[in-house]
Chain A
């Protein structure tokens, strides 16, 4: 089961800013392991959105930003658009479990 905790849902009007938190523990995010974020639009596979806490792959709009000071890490979406509706997952590594771990997932709804 998911080791990293995210809010089940967040919502906002078009143009607004929303944030998604990702809370871990001392064996994953708190231990200094990087956090990565994925976007899963309906009917598609997850897509890398943010890597290494705050870096955007080529092609990802700068409306998406990630941060990690300790735990929780967070993903922010500014200028929310209808096409942003979907599920968002954080991911890191857990040293006590010796495996990659994911967040519980957050459904973003554009009102």
Chain B
């Protein structure tokens, strides 16, 4: 059974960088059949897919256009986890951030427990 455990700070100051990590158990970040995703839920914008990383003979990362210039999703094979970094955050980036796995069918399962990130001075 695949499980995802998130970690990272819940408060980030405006203009700074948001950093979250998602540890994987029951699967590997280097799996050739999975993608590893970050998704955000906010009151104003609902659920938004932010991006993903995955391995298919080499590493790939894809990002949603609306955040592409600000985010990086990286794998960490030594710790079997992946991370999200979002720079230059504003209060609009406040929300609950989830990591999630996707195994080839286009649906997300499992999900991490979620991290409420508040962007405030």
Residues of A within 8 A of B (CB): 1-2, 33-34, 36, 38, 45-48, 51-52, 57, 89, 91-93, 97-105
With A45-B98, A99-B64, A99-B65 given, is the CB distance from A57 to B109 under 8 Å?
Answer: yes
Cβ-based interface call for B36 (8 A): no
User: What's the A-B contact tally at a CB cutoff of 8 Å?
Assistant: 61
Q: For B114, what are the chain A residues with a Cβ–Cβ distance below 8 Å?
A: 45
List 13 A–B pairs whose Cβ atoms lie within 8 Å, in order of A's numbering.
A1-B45, A2-B46, A36-B108, A45-B113, A46-B47, A46-B98, A51-B105, A89-B47, A91-B47, A93-B106, A98-B65, A99-B64, A103-B46
Cβ-based interface call for B59 (8 A): no
**Assembly CA distance A99 to B106 (angstroms):** 11
* B-side interface residues, number (CB < 8 Å): 20
Task: Determine how close the nearest CB of chain A comes to the CB of B39; give it in whole angstroms.
Answer: 8
Main secondary structure of the interface of B (DSSP, over half): strand
Task: Determine how close the nearest CB of chain A comes to the CB of B119; give it in whole angstroms.
Answer: 18
A91 B113 Cβ-Cβ under 8 A: no
In the complex, which of the residues A1, A51, A57, A100 contacts B46, with contact meaning CB atoms closer than 8 Å? Answer: A1
**Assembly CA distance A33 to B109 (angstroms):** 18
**Assembly CA distance A45 to B115 (angstroms):** 10
With A47-B111, A97-B65, A98-B65 given, is the CB distance from A34 to B106 under 8 Å?
Answer: yes
A2 B65 Cβ-Cβ under 8 A: no
B49 A102 Cβ-Cβ under 8 A: yes
In the complex, which of the residues B37, B48, B106, B108 contacts A33, with contact meaning CB atoms closer than 8 Å? Answer: B106
Q: Which residue of B lies closest to A104 (CB)?
A: B46
Q: For A102, what are the chain B residues with a Cβ–Cβ distance below 8 Å?
A: 46-49
Task: Determine how close the nearest CB of chain B comes to the CB of A7; give it in whole angstroms.
Answer: 14
Q: For A93, what are the chain B residues with a Cβ–Cβ distance below 8 Å?
A: 106
Contact string, B46-60, partner A, CB cutoff 8 A, digits 1/0? 111100000000000
**Assembly CA distance A48 to B47 (angstroms):** 14
In the complex, which of the residues A2, A91, A103, A105 contacts B108, with contact meaning CB atoms closer than 8 Å? Answer: A91
